Amino acid sequence: MSRKYFGTDGVRGLVGKAPITPDFAMRLGYAAGTTLVAQEQLPPGEHPAVLIGKDTRISGYMLEAALEAGFAAAGVDVCLVGPMPTPAVAYLTRALRLQAGVVISASHNPYYDNGIKFFSARGTKLPDAVELEIESRLEQPMGCMESAKLGKARRIEDAAGRYIEFCKSTFPNELDLRGLRIAVDCAHGADYHVAPAVFHELGAEVTRFGVSPNGLNINEEVGATHPASIRKAVLDSKADIGISLDGDGDRLIMADSTGNIYDGDQLLYVIARHQARQAKVPGVVGTLMSNLGFEHALDRLDVPLVRAKVGDRYVLEQLMEKDWLLGGENSGHIICLDKHSTGDGIVAALQVLAALRAGKETLAEACADLRMYPQKLVNVRMPDGFDWKSEPGIAAAQTAAEKNLAGKGRVLLRPSGTEPLLRVMVEGQEAAVVTAEAEAIAAAVRQAFSQ
């Protein structure tokens, strides 16, 4: 059965346009609720319960209310936590022994987009079979339990404090951050009231950026998708290190004291290198976008790299299949399964900081043996339904690029799982060649759908 609503990261789109509308959100809550009711074997009179968190988009209020109504109509109790990072919802769902967690967020997208994604009782993304069951129930008319069986809603008042303590628990007890000046950019998103507290309570001197959400400024020229923001923050505050998160807190980039930016591959390498010094690391899961230089550096550590499809859910699937603990994407999603059940920007930053503190190193020193290949990514907006794979002009441009790279690089074309974009990535040893070939392929894509 093919998916109609769920993508690689839940249901996502433009607010006010199907499916991100209040009526759909209510039906989605009801469909998910009836699925949970059907699956759970609870004592008589006890209702299934879900936790709903959101980022700081103004549309979160509307979607939260609609989801709450849908779940209540299905006889499911709702726990509300307000603005909270995506990984916090995963943690709290597991810690409170609830049946599911729901996040209202479009991650790194602008405020006018939003989305709804689910976590299982274990704090992991829902299995495909459950998502398909929810989709099938969406095709049925919405009903309502009798009054005595309706769900209730309550607010978890100490959610932020619980999550802060959890994050701190992932940092080694014998280490602290005293004497370290950290700039933290929260993207005006869900981490604005928790991330600075975590690093401060571990002893760091913290300068806060992107902590004034107004419902419309999430990810706006700040956060992990805008590296210039953390670079400026570090230099302006004379910080030793910069930590930049995205709007829902599951993505991380970092900067050193000179303003140099470190992406997900580099940060993952720092963690893997530290772990390899302590014990054998069975392997790391990356994606099709992971840098060749990263793969070669891991090979020198005798740590194999397996590439999953792009998307943290696919990284997690590979980790579970291989019984490995460490994986991630160059975009900054980093999963440390020995610490958390999902990718977490704060937890990943703490593992990087732990490696640096233990080794008495800077980011630059920890990455000295890592030579990243130049990589150019061009996002080309496409019309809905455009069949780019069948276009001979695009295929010819890709073949020409691969020939020019002469076996010393890669070309990857893939559609975005969350936006109507074709992502064109070229990687190789010479930056000028990489950029030229990526732009040539992107031009071929634009020409193909403009004919």
Phi, then psi, of 152 in degrees rounded to 5: -115, 165
CB 430 within 8 A of CB 409: no
**DSSP calls for 417-435:** SSSSEEEEEEEES-HHHHH
N- to C-terminal Cα distance for the chain?
33
Give the Å distances, CA to CA, from 324 to 278, 316, 353. Answer: 16, 9, 22
Q: Which residues pair with 79 in a beta bridge?
A: 51, 154
Q: What is the DSSP letter of 8?
A: B
Record the tokens describing residue 24, joined without a space.
Answer: 């759909």
Phi, then psi, of 248 in degrees rounded to 5: -110, 5
Alpha helices in 86-243 (DSSP H): 86-95, 128-138, 159-169, 195-201, 227-237
Say how far apart CA 324 and CA 336 lie, in whole Å: 9
Q: Which residues pair with 206 in a beta bridge?
A: 182
Record the tokens describing residue 347, joined without a space.
Answer: 């937890």
Q: Say which of 59, 105, 107, 331 is annotated catalytic.
A: 107
Record the tokens describing residue 329, joined without a space.
Answer: 């994407």
59 is catalytic: no
Phi, then psi, of 446 in degrees rounded to 5: -60, -40
Say how far apart CA 336 and CA 317 lie, in whole Å: 13
Q: Is 406 exposed, middle or buried (0-12, 13-18, 19+ CB in 10 A)?
A: exposed
Give the contacts of 252 (CB within 8 A, at least 6 positions apart): 224, 243, 244, 245, 264, 267, 332, 334, 345, 348, 349
**DSSP calls for 215-249:** SS-TTSS-STT-HHHHHHHHHHHT-SEEEEE-TTS
Residue whose token pair is 């194999």:
304
Q: Which residues are catalytic?
A: 107
